[in-house]
Structure 1
Amino acid sequence: MPYNIAMVSDFFFPQPGGIESHIYQLSTKLIDQGHKVIVITHAYEGRTGVRYLTNGLKVYHVPFLVMFRSATFPTVFSFFPIFRNIVLREAIEIVHGHGTMSSFTHEAILHARTMGLRAVFTDHSLFGFADAGSILTNKLLKFTLSDVDHVICVSHTCKENTVLRASLDPLMVSVIPNAVVAENFRPLSHPGYTADGTAQALGQNNPIPQQVLGPNDTITIVVISRLFYNKGTDLLIAAIPRIIALHPNVRFIIAGSGPKAIDLEQMLERNVLQDRVEMLGPVRHEEVRDVMVRGHIYLHPSLTEAFGTVIVEAASCGLYVVCTQVGGIPEVLPAHMTVFAKPEEDDLVAATGKAIAALRANKVRTEKFHDQVKMMYSWYDVAQRTERVYDGISGALSEADFYGFDAANASSWSASRGRAGVQSFALIDRLKRYYGCGIWAGKLFCLCVVIDYLLFILLEFVAPRENIDISRNWPKKMVNGEKNGEKNGREPSREMRRDTT
């Protein structure tokens, strides 16, 4: 059945990044499946109010103060009036938040549960347990996920991390990886592109040529990343001079911006490497492919990573990937596409040297990577698996089908926990869940929920929902012989039937 879904996060286009791309691609594919999807994010420079993107995806840019790394200032309650207005205007049924560090995500899930809406959270990050920042972040995550219907993680490592951080039942967490639009990340040598990247006709007589590198040919190493500490920029700064000293015919192309950019530039000046390292600064997501196809190796020195979509994009472009063996990265690509290194300077230099030697000896068939990646990842598959989560929390799937346990155990499961994917909206039940979050934190969380509920009652009185105009849906298009919105056996919604009459 079709759903009305609101994707909520501080991180969205025009800012480039993995979360931003994930939200956009997932939303467009869900729209193709017949669902209504909107995105709620904060205002970016030049983008405020309501914008429409491809496929009728509506984006609400809310003008809130941005604090750090595109995250808004957390206010807990001030977002509620705007959020309620948007949700009622769009007749939203499911609120899907993305990103642990997004204030909008945490506040939206709290308000959604107060309004009696289903809520899903997708975690894209890994966090520790020892430092003060991680402890506070984990407690905030525990607050949000105590009253959420289901959690999605982008890798199995991410799932283990989230289950431990938020004390969740593993059955309430699904693993749905990121994906890549392989057609947008074709190598120059792939059929469909000429040497200058322009399109050409496909045909069986146009095979993929094997790239042959001589001993004196220049090898280009590409790095595309936000220049922050957790992305391994310090490790990169230490490794570049050593890699260049060991391999005279190697050059770097670095794209990205961040607070560590000044340290990187100072390293280049100190070692006089401006002619061997090209700094491009920030690039838009649609320009990433054009940067990648200029290289032979993609270097990813991240210190922590839940998935790493960029390395899938690099492999799709025909680059041999050198990456640190941290987080969920080992789950992303098969061994023949990658060279792993410990997150240490010496090991990263050695792994890069190993990749350079393999390319010069023609031991790696990078020209096959694109077609292999295309078979591994699909946003259509991600959308179908996410849709199944929506079916599970809405009751369209039985507990046994959704959670995978024997139907005979369903009664004992419900008696001990309640329906795991369908949390009760009753205020007393919500308070019980929050109260168990800690001796002091539990009481504070309960106070927040009570205030949020009272604010909801006040808004219902001050701004009655019957006075809020319902927004018209974007007209549905007919694709692949669809008739009256029928697709994959799904009945058309009322809006779809009206639009096609």
Structure 2
Amino acid sequence: MGYRIAMVSDFFFPQPGGIESHIFQLSQRLIDLGHKVIVITHAYKDRVGVRYLTNGLTAYYVPLHTVYRETTFPSFFYFFPIFRNIIIREQIEIVHGHGSLSFLCHDAILHGRTMGLKTCFTDHSLFGFADAGSIITNKLLKFTMSDIDHVICVSHTCRENTVLRAVLNPQKVSVIPNALVPENFKPDPSKASEDYLTIVVISRLYYNKGIDLLIAVIPRICAEFHKVRFVIAGDGPKAIDLEQMREKYMLQDRVEMLGSVRHDQVRDVMVRGHIYLHPSLTEAFGTVLVEAASCGLYVISTKVGGVPEVLPSHMTRFARPEEDDLVRTLSNAISDYLNNKIKTVKFHDEVKKMYSWIDVAERTEKVYESICAEPNLRLINRLKLYYGCGQWAGKLFCILITLDYLVMMLLHWIWPASDIDLAVDRPPVSLSMQDEIETPELKRSSSTGSSSDKFC
């Protein structure tokens, strides 16, 4: 039997997204390599309790309140009793958190270190250094990462950003990119219209995803090319602005808005297009770009973050994150596509060779091996690390760590580990390839838990 790992994040299925897909696919491949993996996340509406997903993956949906974009409010000690119960129940050795904005992840890493577990963190995002939100996030990251065993970033740009934000030793930070299941993103030219050149956009409709930029670009492209239309999938606060733009320029027949789509529907949307447009203002990696290229779409993206590292030059073109340059780049790509200067037939086979979840899982496994070979720090040494986080913050962090130890000792006295029933390990199910690559949305029948499940 391999390692026993708990993936912890606020972001998991049934919510669609890159982090959610990353956690699920990485967990599946680690199970294939012989490890025990569980997922700890917060409840999504009526999805509360224990759920059993594909290939022996167990998901704990903890009843916690969310405050913004499906992130929980920092609970610190409130979450500790449930977390300790799950960890002891499943005999977890490694806590692997995901997402800088996931407070559940930060809480789990803090409590995991207090319990003497190995901890790992994967950063999927880029943040600045000047605005109030980034300053608070960076200070929280510095707190959590002060005693982390190892950090994984999804691109080299993300690694540089995380090292600076959390003041980390670069030797403790590795780069392991995202991947995709190529069988889920096969091209189908018959689905694309022959009468129009279709530009696909799949994104959460938020400011940081460049939706304001998209709103400015669409009318200009539609005015220049009468045989171009847009298909936009996603939901968010900027949806109303897109609707207003469509009404203002009377583009109802040329701009189709699909709303939120599940991850298993992404491929069906992509194969309808010829070009994929990605106007994001910040991006650590951009898994959707790999998915689009695998579906045979030519990619136009803003040159931000780790995006230039994702695809080779013949699959994509970059523009500065500004209206005029994005319009110019997109116009040139449309003209080349209409004149048959862009060939996408071999994109799927090329992407299939570049990105593999098995490779990601094997590289992550090596990280686990390295951190498990290192001894744990004593409490006094941990406090020294936290004390160096700032004149006032350092003292506050030391108080929190000390309180966390006291809470753990209290929990050991009130509810001894010997009184907690151990969970029976569910062996991986022997599945066909199609079953192995299905997401929880497709495998609802394998989810045997219900909203009445309890943590026991």
The two structures have a TM-score, normalised by structure 1, of 0.85
Q: Does 1:281 align with 2:254?
A: no
Which of 1 and 2 has greater Rg?
1
User: What letter is aligned with 2:77?
Assistant: F
Taking the aligned partners of 1:473 and 1:188, their CA distance within structure 2 comes to: 40
Alignment of 1:245-394 (within 5 A): 245-394=223-372
The answer to whether the Cα contact below 8 Å between 1:113 and 1:425 also exists between their aligned partners in 2 is no
How many residue pairs end up in the alignment?
432
Alignment of 1:129-278 (within 5 A): 129-189=129-189, 195=190, 217-278=195-256
Once the two structures are TM-superposed, the CA of residue 362 in structure 1 deviates from its matched residue by 1.3
Partner of 1:438: 390
The answer to whether the Cα contact below 8 Å between 1:226 and 1:257 also exists between their aligned partners in 2 is yes
Taking the aligned partners of 2:173 and 2:340, their CA distance within structure 1 comes to: 42
The answer to whether the Cα contact below 8 Å between 1:27 and 1:57 also exists between their aligned partners in 2 is yes
Partner of 1:28: 28
Once structures 1 and 2 are overlaid, which stretch shifts more, 79-88 or 39-48?
39-48
Partner of 1:43: 43
* 1:16 counterpart SS class: coil
Partner of 1:205: none
User: What letter is aligned with 1:56?
Assistant: G
The answer to whether the Cα contact below 8 Å between 2:201 and 2:277 also exists between their aligned partners in 1 is yes
Partner of 2:82: 82
The answer to whether the Cα contact below 8 Å between 1:9 and 1:102 also exists between their aligned partners in 2 is yes
Taking the aligned partners of 1:212 and 1:275, their CA distance within structure 2 comes to: 14
Q: Does 1:60 align with 2:60?
A: yes
The answer to whether the Cα contact below 8 Å between 1:185 and 1:313 also exists between their aligned partners in 2 is yes
Taking the aligned partners of 1:45 and 1:269, their CA distance within structure 2 comes to: 33
Taking the aligned partners of 2:332 and 2:339, their CA distance within structure 1 comes to: 11
Q: Does 1:128 align with 2:80?
A: no
Once the two structures are TM-superposed, the CA of residue 475 in structure 1 deviates from its matched residue by 2.1
The answer to whether the Cα contact below 8 Å between 2:55 and 2:428 also exists between their aligned partners in 1 is no
Q: Which string of whole-angstrom CA distances, capped at 9 and with x for unpartnered residues, describes residues 313-332 of structure 1?
A: 00000000000000000000
Partner of 1:460: 412
The answer to whether the Cα contact below 8 Å between 1:95 and 1:119 also exists between their aligned partners in 2 is yes
Once the two structures are TM-superposed, the CA of residue 45 in structure 1 deviates from its matched residue by 1.8
Q: Which string of whole-angstrom CA distances, capped at 9 and with x for unpartnered residues, describes residues 341-390 of structure 1?
A: 00000011111111111111212211110000000000000000000000
Alignment of 1:398-477 (within 5 A): 422=374, 424-477=376-429
Taking the aligned partners of 1:302 and 1:431, their CA distance within structure 2 comes to: 40
Q: Which string of whole-angstrom CA distances, capped at 9 and with x for unpartnered residues, describes residues 159-209 of structure 1?
A: 0000000111110000000001111000114xxxxx46xxxxxxxxxxxxx
The answer to whether the Cα contact below 8 Å between 2:315 and 2:347 also exists between their aligned partners in 1 is yes
* 2:401 counterpart SS class: helix
User: What letter is aligned with 1:87?
Assistant: I
The answer to whether the Cα contact below 8 Å between 2:55 and 2:430 also exists between their aligned partners in 1 is no
* 2:300 counterpart SS class: strand
Once the two structures are TM-superposed, the CA of residue 446 in structure 1 deviates from its matched residue by 0.4
Once the two structures are TM-superposed, the CA of residue 423 in structure 1 deviates from its matched residue by 6.1
- Amino-acid identity (%): 69
Change (3 A) 1:252 1:423: farther
Taking the aligned partners of 1:118 and 1:382, their CA distance within structure 2 comes to: 20
User: What letter is aligned with 1:70?
Assistant: E
* 1:274 counterpart SS class: coil
Taking the aligned partners of 2:118 and 2:375, their CA distance within structure 1 comes to: 8
Taking the aligned partners of 1:256 and 1:180, their CA distance within structure 2 comes to: 20
Which consecutive residues of structure 1, in runs of 5 or more, have no partner in the other structure?
190-194, 197-210, 396-421, 481-501
Q: Which string of whole-angstrom CA distances, capped at 9 and with x for unpartnered residues, describes residues 268-289 of structure 1?
A: 1111111110000000000000
Partner of 2:16: 16
The answer to whether the Cα contact below 8 Å between 2:43 and 2:61 also exists between their aligned partners in 1 is yes
* 1:355 counterpart SS class: helix
Once the two structures are TM-superposed, the CA of residue 476 in structure 1 deviates from its matched residue by 4.0
Which consecutive residues of structure 2, in runs of 5 or more, have no partner in the other structure?
433-456
* 1:343 counterpart SS class: coil
Taking the aligned partners of 1:89 and 1:186, their CA distance within structure 2 comes to: 40
The answer to whether the Cα contact below 8 Å between 2:56 and 2:429 also exists between their aligned partners in 1 is no
> With CA pairs under 8 Å and 6+ residues apart, which has the higher RCO, 1 or 2?
2
The answer to whether the Cα contact below 8 Å between 2:31 and 2:428 also exists between their aligned partners in 1 is no
Once the two structures are TM-superposed, the CA of residue 426 in structure 1 deviates from its matched residue by 1.1
Q: CA RMSD in A?
A: 1.4
Taking the aligned partners of 1:457 and 1:262, their CA distance within structure 2 comes to: 51
The answer to whether the Cα contact below 8 Å between 1:212 and 1:362 also exists between their aligned partners in 2 is no
* 1:162 counterpart SS class: helix
Q: Which string of whole-angstrom CA distances, capped at 9 and with x for unpartnered residues, describes residues 132-160 of structure 1?
A: 11111101000000011000000000000
Alignment of 1:471-490 (within 5 A): 471-477=423-429
Change (3 A) 1:40 1:364: same
